Structure 1
């Protein structure tokens, strides 16, 4: 196993960040930060007190927005670079570098704070007049979004205090979490010898075909998390309370409100998605009853959830994964394949697993005048192939949205997962269609069903866990480790029912999930994206080539319109329960397909 992984690892790329900077000691970083600080100060002198003014003209507002976008975009590059180098290798040098860049970019941003405040305070009549002007068309949605936060903005002086305090508050605790997880080591006995693995490697063993290896990996992960449980609980308590204080200052009525507003979706839409997932929880028990039969177990444990159906899965080399992705993307749209090819050719992917590198996967959009970067830990499984397809879906979304500019580059979080899940579905279909036996199809289907569970039901469970933790922290004060553990275990048992036995130590597993730390209540966006994309994929299979231009226009829109407006070309009403049930119906068909193929295998 180790030899196979080392062989695969030798061909796996690490990224080239030179389009940003050559390294943490690149002299251009300091030069750029000084330059954009000067530009921000000049911008402040030029426009402060003149945006919320009866003398403001559309031409002047457009010029100001162009200048603001340029300063915001260019001054963000050192920050993106710092985040990327720290994710790739968390050590003392990169930690200090991140801190230095955060402090300097915060200083720049403080000179720009006035703009949003003045823009939000402009009279509605003036805004309506300005948004009709052709020179402001590009920024119309950006202006609307800024103004949607009007009642939650503080004074300029207060906003500056919060920006400064975040450096030693929320931001510092989030970075401490990253250090804990990136540098965590887990011991496990393999082949009579003790091995020390990082978090990515120990989590990968939960997908091992050997049940004892999975059990040992689960025990090792639990032990490691338990050792740092007090630290994780302290970090989480601090961040939850920090958010509660800021929510109170900004007059948010409930903990999730800021996230809903940023996502441009209503509380009612989110509750509809939660309700649909709750009503369809029986699919989880139904599927795991099938998996228990396939594996021949009397009972499934938490460490069996991701057990592969086949005894041994053939490892996939990175070059083979690249070919699979490019071919599957190309069959859908040659343009998508051409864009993905750039990421392989130009070193915009870091897929090599190594110590010090954070776990998980992400795509950083960076800026509209550059290109995104893709990050993952590729260990050669078919799931890793689909993860690579998932992150390249994000990358294509950002690439196509670049003409919209920096302010509209990123779609609201609820649409962010659309392109990624769609890309993953294209890769999954390619793998399934190339399967040579019903047994292989069952294996692929089961893996994909479990991934959909993880992106839909599990994310809603995590959303409910967060909701309970934030609510209880606000009512009762600091939460003990056991209280948070109890929220986690209870929420997960709701999902699995009696189909999977969750061991007592599973209660610690909330501790390694970064979304709780960096982006509270982000997780429901995955459910939104998963169910939306399943419905869109069903439309593609029905409409064929006629669907493709509409889909690419969706990606090209970036964040230039609201989710409901962007989806209107597909005749989708996200407020309707029936629409979200359509995604669940696709999942149900996949489970039935897995059952049918399993019957064939049994014969």
Structure 2
């Protein structure tokens, strides 16, 4: 149930950690001595190549220690010794990074003609996209001294508030009465009850979640305001016009492409509303509320053991690509997955790529529901993607957030089709389709709701002072109302549920990448259905490419143009088709 982190280090007190830190500090100073003032308009491709090789080794070493500290902390945020180790590691890494900051700053000072000559050379072919992408930051980069100050100060600003948010949220106890017994639950456990078959239990869970969050509303509101303020200051210092600009730049996506995605989602909220009206009919609920969205249908109440979930996922992967299944099996065989539920463990799920010399690790909170099977598929998709792209080295192993969701969502789609093909009865097919639609809506429309919420609160903070708790609630309800329309009654409990979403704190404007990834996969899946087995090597190659190409160039290789608004509109067809299919099956069952 818990992962084995010994491929990173044996323990917090391992002498190897201290030795590695000493070695990395020494190497960082040597790097600065060797290359500082050398990255100028007279630099040769050979020197830049040599510098990148040395720099990548140092960053990989730092990444290995950081990964270990981060994974330990995620698995036990209440452990004081682990928290101290996590903080001290962050501080040491920041100090060493300070010696390396000059390289990309100096790279961005080069004339455009010099830079193009360098990254277009055969010697630097491997790093072309990295070097070209870094140049996009040129208008927003500060002086070396200022960059060092910002990096060090982040330990007591954004990073400090990230940690405070995690610890605050993970320490909240949610009280609820179940079967006449008062119980204390974690966030993961209380959220799980929103999927309970009993409406009264779902309603009590919604109230418990609200009450628990309200117990820390002053602190969490303060944390949100500090993050908004930090983003505002950074954006002003760097010269970004819009709060979302820095995220788009790191995602290597143009604003017009993101706007095309958001518009397509906002224009098609009716798909979700149409489905919720159908679900209300299936459940025979006249006043369908927000806490009814995830009510189970029929056998979707079925519980799966982790072993059963493993088999379902691996079989689905095997049907598509034996290579994909083989890589996924490594995660099970070597204890690279932490799936148990514990107090203090971070909620939700993630796959952490770690570093190319090791392998990814997955964290999830497995409760046995069908959505946990999908979550396992999702995170294994990430893990496979990260594992295959290790060959590109530390700098280009990970992709921008937009294409980072490609493999995870594609893996979910494979498992969905496997589950659907295994069902014979119309009722079972209806339940599987409905479950999938709810997952898609959570990934597509809900993530754009969150993005719209973020756009509102960041814009509000940009032109005014701090936001009150009530103002946050108002923006949250406004964003959600547009998605739900008249298909859902928003309960009084729902207004403060922005408070538990970590992406708003850890990675502002992260959320649209989920929607981007889901809809991109709908396009990829359409390609797979039309091309058959000929598509598979193209897909594996796409995953193996890491960030050696920009997202736009990468998906162009499989015939997709993400800059065209028509692509995003056409990606809605799969959802529309599934809703229509569900309606037809429902009518057939209820003749």
* TM class, shorter-length: over 0.9
Matching of residues 303-318 of structure 1 within 5 Å: 303-310=291-298, 313-318=301-306
Task: Specify the alignment match of 1:252 in structure 2.
Answer: 240
Tell me whether 1:296 sits opposite 2:277 in the alignment. no
Measured in 2, the distance between the counterparts of 1:211 and 1:24 equals: 45
Q: 1:232 aligns with which of 220, 240, 249?
A: 220
Match of 1:72 among 52, 59, 72: 59
* From 503, 506, 524, the counterpart of 2:512: 524
The answer for the alignment partner of 2:125 in structure 1 is: 137
Q: Which residue of structure 1 lines up, in the alignment, with residue 573 of structure 2?
A: 585
Q: Distance in 2 between matches of 1:575 and 1:425?
A: 24
Q: 511-520 or 591-600: which moved more?
A: 591-600
**How far does residue 311 in structure 1 lie from its aligned partner after superposition?**
6.5
Shift of residue 53 of structure 1?
4.2
| Residue 48 of structure 1, aligned match among 27, 36, 39 | 36
**SS at 1:363 equivalent:** strand
Work out whether residues 523 and 560 of structure 2, in 8 Å CA contact, stay in contact via their aligned partners in 1.
no
Measured against aligned partners, the alpha-carbon deviations of 1:223-253 in whole angstroms (never above 9, x if no partner) come to 0011111111100000110111011111111
1:107-186 to 2 correspondence within 5 Å? 107-186=95-174
Aligned to 2:178: 190
The partner residue of 1:88 within 50, 69, 75 is: 75
Structure 1 partner of 2:486 = 498
- Distance in structure 2 (CA, Å) of the matches to 1:145 and 1:358: 33
CA distance in 2, matches of 1:448, 1:184: 31
Task: Name whichever of 40-49 and 91-100 sits farther off.
Answer: 91-100
Where does 1:137-536 land on structure 2 (aligned, <5 Å)? Answer: 137-310=125-298, 313-536=301-524
SS class of match (2:176): strand
Query: Structure 2 residue aligned with 1:98, among 75, 86, 90?
Result: 86
Query: What is the aligned partner in structure 2 of residue 9 from structure 1?
Result: none
Q: Residues 98-153 of structure 1, C-alpha deviation per residue, up to 9 Å, x if partnerless?
A: 11000000011000000010011111222222223222111111101111101111
The offset of 1:95, in angstroms, is 1.3
Tell me if the contact between 2:300 and 2:432 (Cα under 8 Å) persists in the aligned partners: no
Distance in 2, matches of 1:390 and 1:255, equals 29
Question: Structure 2: how far apart are the matches of 1:583 and 1:334?
Answer: 28
Whether the 8 Å contact between 2:194 and 2:295 is mirrored in structure 1 is yes
1:346-380 CA-partner distances (Å, limit 9, x unpaired): 11111111111011000101111111111100011
Task: Give, in whole Å, the separation in 2 of the partners of 1:369 and 1:77.
Answer: 9
Residue 549 (structure 1) aligns with: 537
Between the aligned partners of 1:314 and 1:298, the Cα distance in structure 2 is 25
The alignment partner of 1:347 has SS state of coil
* 1:4 match: none
Could you tell me how far apart the structure 2 residues matched to 1:73 and 1:408 are? 11
The answer on whether the counterparts of 1:209 and 1:310 sit within 8 Å (CA) in structure 2 is no
**Aligned equivalents of 1:49 and 1:164: distance in 2?**
23
What value does the CA root-mean-square deviation take over the aligned residues? 1.0
**Distance across 2 between alignment mates of 1:94 and 1:439:** 48
CA distance in structure 2 between the partners assigned to 1:569 and 1:161 by the alignment: 41
2: CA distance between counterparts of 1:124 and 1:358?
A: 45
SS at match of 1:470: helix
- Inter-partner Cα distance in structure 2 for 1:131 and 1:153: 20
Structure 2 counterpart of 1:62: 49
Counterparts of 1:17-36 in structure 2 under 5 Å? 17-36=5-24
| Conserved? CA contact 1:209–1:311, under 8 Å | no
8 Å CA contact retained: 2:41, 2:114 = no
CA distance in 2: counterparts of 1:311 and 1:584, whole angstroms? 27
State the alpha-carbon separation in 2 of the partners of residues 424 and 302 from structure 1: 24
Q: Is the 8 A contact 1:209 1:312 kept in 2?
A: no
Question: Which ranges of structure 2 fall in alignment gaps of 5 or more residues?
Answer: none
Instruction: Say whether 1:39 aligns with 2:27.
Output: yes
Q: Is the 8 A contact 2:165 2:223 kept in 1?
A: yes
Deviations 1:434-454 (A, max 9, x none): 123211111111111011111
- Secondary structure in structure 2 of the residue aligned to 1:189: strand
Conserved 8 A contact 1:181-1:358: no
1:532 Cα deviation from its structure 2 partner = 0.7
* Higher alpha-carbon deviation: 309-318 or 199-208: 309-318
Question: In structure 1, what is the Cα distance between the partners aligned to 2:286 and 2:214?
Answer: 29
| 1:508-549, Cα deviation, whole Å (9 max, x unpaired) | 100000100011001111111011101211221221101111
Deviations 1:545-581 (A, max 9, x none): 0111111111011111101110112221111122111
Matched position secondary structure for 1:188: strand
Residue aligned with 2:351, SS: strand
Per-residue deviation, residues 235-276 of structure 1 (Å, max 9, x unmatched): 000011011101111111110110011111111111111111
Instruction: Measure, in 1, the Cα distance between the counterparts of 2:356 and 2:8.
Output: 13
* Whole-angstrom distance in 1 between the partners of 2:268 and 2:312: 33
Residue 317 of structure 1: CA displacement? 0.7
Following the alignment from structure 1 to structure 2, what is the Cα–Cα distance between the partners of residues 416 and 440?
Answer: 32
TM-superposed deviation, 1:431: 1.1
